Amino acid sequence: MNHALRTPAGPVPDGAPFWNPQRGGSMPSHRYRPAHQRVTVPDFDRSWPTARITEAPLWVPVDLRDGNQALAEPMDPARKRRMFDLLVAMGFKEIEVGYPSASQADFDFVRDLAEPGAVPGDVTIVVFTPAIPELIERTFASIEGVERAVVHLYTATAPVWREVVLGRDRDGVHRLVMDGAAHVARLAGDRPGVRFQFSPEVFNQTEPEYALRVCDDVTALWDASPDRPVVLNLPATVEIATPNLYADQIEFMHRHLARRDAVILSVHPHNDRGTGVACAELALLAGAQRVEGCLFGNGERTGNVDLVTLALNLHTQGVDPRLDLSDIDEIRRTVEHCNRLPVPDRHPYAGALVHTAFSGTHQDAIRKGMAHHAARAADLGVPAAEAPWDVPYLPIDPADLGRSYEAVIRVNSQSGKGGIAYLLQTEHGLDLPRRLQIEFAKAVQRETDGSGAEMTAKELGDLFRTEYLDRADTGPVQLTGWRTAHTGPERHDFTGTLRIDGREGEYSGSGNGPLSALTAALGAAGIRVDVLDYVEHATGPGQGAAAVAYVECRVNGVTRWGAGQDTSVLTASIRAVLSAVNR
């Protein structure tokens, strides 16, 4: 079916300001009820707007259950084990590993984890089950022999789910939950190491006072206590509202739960509105202590909340996330292999391009910021990796994530002189003077405008070599041999064999330095050269490093830069003058 776009052509709403001429459209927005008509949170004196997140919550990855259910091709045992090992290596201490009553594959994976030594001693696994007796029994069978496990019971409690999916009223769903919770308690008996979790699925669309009643009754039945706390997980199963409403719902529960000191308050946001991360952060402000989600946000529809983004958001606020994300590319590669889904190039923190600047203004700010950071670290007497981070356009130091600085600045037709100069300096050891940066940027612009493609650091270096360094040898004026001598106070003589437009001759000149003597020799050959600026530096540490010289010359009335490179500073300088002449 091919739908043509229909540009909004309705009236401009009454009272709209003159600067907003947007018109009424034809999309059927009237079919949808706003969130405040679907869920109403009782008034209370909320505190979350002024709270601060000062420590990491308990992170619980659900990649192996919720995330696995969302894959077109669920993980095989090898990929599941690789994902589990990654989660352990990153430092997760509670991991939801499966829905063992849903498939033989999930059941078998949990049984594999029951083998001695399969799960580290400080890691607890979580298994998921609906409130159906035979499925609860299958779930307990899967964890036989497991030292530490959380049995996660769930039932949908929202009106539409009650009426359409379960076909029960409020009391009927309440009985379903309590029967399931009682069966869990009977099967657990006095087994050590088994704790309980309950999720009123679609909590965010459930009447708050009803969700509170169900949760309080479950914690009472399970006899929740501070030394054996119950996890109450309050999911935004399908996002329907702005994150502030979810925060209100979480704080309402946080304030009113009957056994608050015996409850680990958990959240499980989804991302249907694209605000899963915001929902989780506001929920933490509102009293949540535990967050379920997936690495890079995999999950049904638009996914579960992204634990990597949440953790690194804390890191950038000076809060230890208590996870190791220092090799973000290896984490990304592993997740992509296990999920067979790519992490987008613009994904927060982990995408291939998130630390990359193409824009000239961004590149210039980053280049200056990096130089300032290095100088600040030196002033403080600490390594750059330990100095306070404050670089424009980079909210996090890429090195914290195991990324090099090579890809921070990349060049295309949108780039400016600052980014070009940064790449030449970091990748090729060439520290161009400012006016040369401007001149070379024009050559880069011509090249990228013509191809429409990005120019790599190698291609940038090749272009500089062709445009400047090689021009001492490729042009109408070539120096086939030369010698210079210091013949008196402030007097240097230069004699060289010049081939000009194919005609060769020997020319001499004198001056107060080798370059002025060279320009005098060129003048004798009919080429008037005035040196306007001169800069030279080594391209690296040590005595064997090559020297590079940059010379701005006025040649027969035309100003051009030249560059030369050699292990000899004098030779590099002479080549730079010839480069300018030939350009």
Binding residue ranges for Mg(2+): 66, 268, 270, 304
Count CB atoms within 10 A of the CB of residue 351.
17
Please give the DSSP secondary-structure letter assigned to residue 87: H
Torsion sign (Cα): 513, 518, 524, 529: negative
- The one-letter code for the residue type at 41 is V
- In order, the DSSP letters of 132-191 are -HHHHHHHHHHTTT-SSEEEEEEEE-SHHIIIIII---HHHHHHHHHHHHHHHHHHHTT-
Contact yes or no for 579/469 (Cβ under 8 A): yes
Listed in sequence order, the DSSP H helices in 468-568 are 514-524
Token couple for 506: 């020997």
Please give the DSSP secondary-structure letter assigned to residue 513: S
Nearest residue to 564 (alpha-carbon basis) of 553, 577, 581, 582: 577
Please give the DSSP secondary-structure letter assigned to residue 69: H
Buried b (16+ CB within 10 A) or exposed e, 450-465: eeeeebebebbbebbe
Binding residues: 66, 268, 270, 304
Pairing of β 58-61 and β 290-293: parallel
Token couple for 3: 């739908």
CA 511 to chain centre: 58
94, β-bridge pairs:
124
Distance CA(145)–CA(122), nearest Å, equals 16
Distance CA(363)–CA(576), nearest Å, equals 28
Q: The sheet that has 94-98: what strands, in order across it?
A: 58-61, 290-293, 263-269, 230-236, 194-201, 149-156, 124-130, 94-98
Token couple for 141: 């069978």
Count CB atoms within 10 A of the CB of residue 320.
10
Nearest residue to 64 (alpha-carbon basis) of 77, 45, 51, 54: 77
